[in-house]
Amino acid sequence: MAEQHFQQKLSFLEKAGYSGADAAANFVFMTMILFQTNFYTDVFGLTAGAAAAILLWPRLWDAVVDPIVGVLADRTESRWGKFRPWVLFTAVPWFVVMILAYTTPHGWSMGKMIAYAVITNTLLMSIYSMNNMPYAALGGVMTGDVLERTKLNSYRFIAVNVAQFIVGGFTLPLVAKLARKHAEGATVGLADQQYGWHMTMTIWAVLCLVLFMITFATTKERIKPLQASRVSKEADPAQRSEKLRWRLIGLAVFLLAGLVCWISVSYARDFLLRFTKNEDVVQTVLWVCRLLAVAALLYPLWKSLPNSVQMDFSGLVKNNPWKVMFFMTLCHFCILSFRGGALFNYYHHFADKAALYDWVQQLGLVAPEGAKTSGLMETLGYIVHGSRENLANSNVADVANSIINMLGTGTTIIVILLSPPLAKRFGKKAVAATGFGLACVGSLAFYWLSPTNIWGMVALTVLIAVVYAPTIPLIWAIYADVADYSEWKTGRRFTGMVFATIGFALKSGLALGGASFLWIMAGFFGYDTKLPDAEHAVLGYRVCSGIVVGILFGICALLLIAYPITKKLTIQMADELAERRRATAQA
């Protein structure tokens, strides 16, 4: 009996087409996780403190945007459905802003550079929300078949890992290649690196635009809410007037919060330094002021929401599976951005460059200085030019880091195919909890590797990919189960709200992960962006890449163990909801 379940199959074309938009999203997402921290400090020219603020603030703002988009997406009505139009109409803005976010202005003051980075990164994160949150919810309404959803998410995350393979494997070599071309034979300088980043991200932006169009054209929404309609307007004129009053108050508080944040960035630091020379105290006071200004938005925002939206939020806070997955997502995506920044520095400053050169040489990817080479690997920037004795300005770390990224991602693409049979046999919860637990062990082992143990780094990367890969589609399938749980318990379905609030946790985790890496490095290891090879900084890269990441993986495993929806309950919910929908359709 437990093996019987409602069936609603999707074609290969629709599953493959659906996967395209998340592949596109990962050209931004993985660049952000792997390279954005070092782009801002090493290429854009910001200090660690300024870069941390820019990584944190736009992503926290983006996290606030997600629930708003969820409310709007759930209430969108069009001939294309609720969620597909969002994928279509954000495609071109995504293309434009993605390029601008990785373009470095020349001749600007530091204040203007910071403002430019804040604005472009905030716009990029906001458009990301307006595209990816409805896209994630789209997977929950394409089919009600729990096994087909798992297959759909497997297709999605195969495409995601192909994109991650491309970003992780080709971005740094392409940037270096285009920078050398721009230098025209001279020593590659900062302006050349900036050009390399601009052109590489332009290539990725074109690919994103094409993939979004494919997803829109090949998908269809099938699951409709059980309730016949939603009340779009308050019945009582007094209630409408009250909502309008709170919206005006919310707008005023929003403008005030923006003013406080602008003043704190532009003027308050110099003012506070008159009273204390302790930079940590000054930054703490500034962030408290910013957070209080944003927190002041919450009450008028809540009071201005329609009653149906308030009911959605109230239903969520009573949903125990949602609570567990909210905090698990916060921790999970903190890992991704934290680990990306840590490992970049691990390979570029902790790993021994001579050992990296020997390893790359075994792969046949080196050439003498000045030698003329050709072929695909040279075109992609994968040939290391120079000798083992002169590696200071070599691209050997870029090439080795990219190859190791590709090995990990390639392994993930293969192993991720095991997700559906593993989930069918053991259940999504059991597979995901085990995967995160084993990833915890593998990550902790990174700390004990020596700088010359390149094969050990490769082996651990592959091992972590093997155990982590099956969890990737299963986590997103679990989110759809959380939406089913709300409908099963309350009769109200708010898929967009579930994915939007999960998106809030996701973006908050990304924000905290990227910023906390720089905070830990600066606070505990005296990190100076101009001295990345200092002994204490190198120790910090080891601790962050191994011990901190391992602890975070362990926390995720414990939260998944506490997740209450079992395999048996998942099938029961799917069958009962399918029966309710059939009864509603017949009525």
- Over the stretch 9-32, which tens digit does the pLDDT of each residue have? 778 888 889 989 989 999 998 888
User: Among 16-25, 214-223, 228-237, 549-558, which stretch is predicted with the lowest mean pLDDT?
Assistant: 228-237
What is the C-alpha to C-alpha distance for residues 196 and 188, in angstroms, rounded to an integer? 10
Superfamily of domain 13-222+306-575: MFS general substrate transporter like domains (1.20.1250.20)
Q: Which residues contact 423 (CB under 8 A, 6 or more apart)?
A: 150, 431, 470, 474, 477
pLDDT in tens, 98-109: 999 999 998 888
Query: What is the band of 493 on the pLDDT scale with cuts at 50, 70, 90?
Result: low
Which of the four pLDDT bands, split at 50, 70 and 90, describes residue 199?
A: very high
Q: What percent of the chain has pLDDT over 70?
A: 78
Nearest C-alpha neighbor of 516 from the set 52, 59, 61: 52
Q: Report helix angle 549-562 to 428-445, nearest 10.
A: 160
Q: In angstroms, rounded to a whole number, what is the distance separating the alpha carbons of residues 59 and 66?
A: 11
pLDDT in tens, 462-483: 999 999 988 888 887 788 788 7
- Calculate what percentage of the chain has a pLDDT beyond 90: 20
Nearest to 23 by CA among 170, 114, 157: 157
Q: Tell the burial category of 284 from Cβ atoms under 10 Å away from its Cβ (0-12, 13-18, 19+).
A: exposed
- Strand ranges for 306-402 from DSSP E: 366-367, 384-385
What is the residue extent of each domain of the chain? 13-222+306-575, 238-305
Provide the residue type at 129 as one letter.
S
pLDDT at 234 over 50: no
Q: What is the pLDDT of residues 79-89, one digit of tens each?
A: 788 888 888 88
Question: Residue 367 gets which letter from DSSP?
Answer: E
- Work out the pLDDT band at 331, boundaries 50, 70, 90: very high
Using pLDDT thresholds of 50, 70 and 90, give the confidence band for residue 449. Answer: very high
Degrees, nearest 5: CA angle 186-363-463: 115
Half-sphere exposure of 528 (CA within 13 A, CB side): 6
Cβ atoms of residues 102 and 199 within 8 Å: no
Tokens 């903190």, located at residue: 334
Cα–Cα distance, 310 to 318 (Å, whole number) = 13
- Res. 230: pLDDT tops 50: no
Contacts made by residues 460-463, CB under 8 angstroms, sequence distance 24+: 461/404, 461/407, 461/408, 462/407, 462/408, 462/411
Mean pLDDT of the chain: 80
Q: Does the pTM exceed 0.75?
A: no
Mean pLDDT value of segment 32-36? 84
**Residue 501 CB partners (closer than 8 Å, separation 6+):** 66, 67, 70, 316, 322, 326
Exposure string over 231-254, b if 16+ CB within 10 A, otherwise e: eeebeeeeeeeebeebeebbeebb
* Calpha distance 532→231 (Å, rounded): 57
Q: Residue 3's pLDDT is what?
A: 46
Query: What b/e string do you get for 30-68 counting C-beta neighbours within 10 Å, with b at 16 or more?
Result: bbbbbbbbbbbbbbbbbbbbbbbbbbbbbbbbbbbbbbb
> Given this model, what pLDDT does residue 38 score?
82
Nearest CA to 106 out of 45, 30, 62 is that of: 45
Q: How confident is the model at residue 248 (pLDDT cuts 50, 70, 90)?
A: low
Counting other chains too, the contacts that 438-443 makes at CB distance below 8 Å and 24 or more residues apart are 438/467, 438/468, 439/464, 439/467, 439/468, 439/553, 440/550, 440/551, 440/553, 440/554, 440/557, 441/550, 442/467, 442/550, 443/339, 443/545, 443/546, 443/549, 443/550, 443/553
Q: Exposed/middle/buried for 406, CB within 10 Å: 0-12, 13-18, 19+?
A: middle
List all residues 6 or more positions away from 270 whose beta carbon is below 8 Å from its beta carbon: none
pLDDT band at 504 (very low <50, low <70, confident <90, very high): confident
C-alpha to C-alpha distance for 156 and 162, rounded to whole angstroms = 10
Number of neighbours of residue 3 by Cβ within 10 angstroms:
6
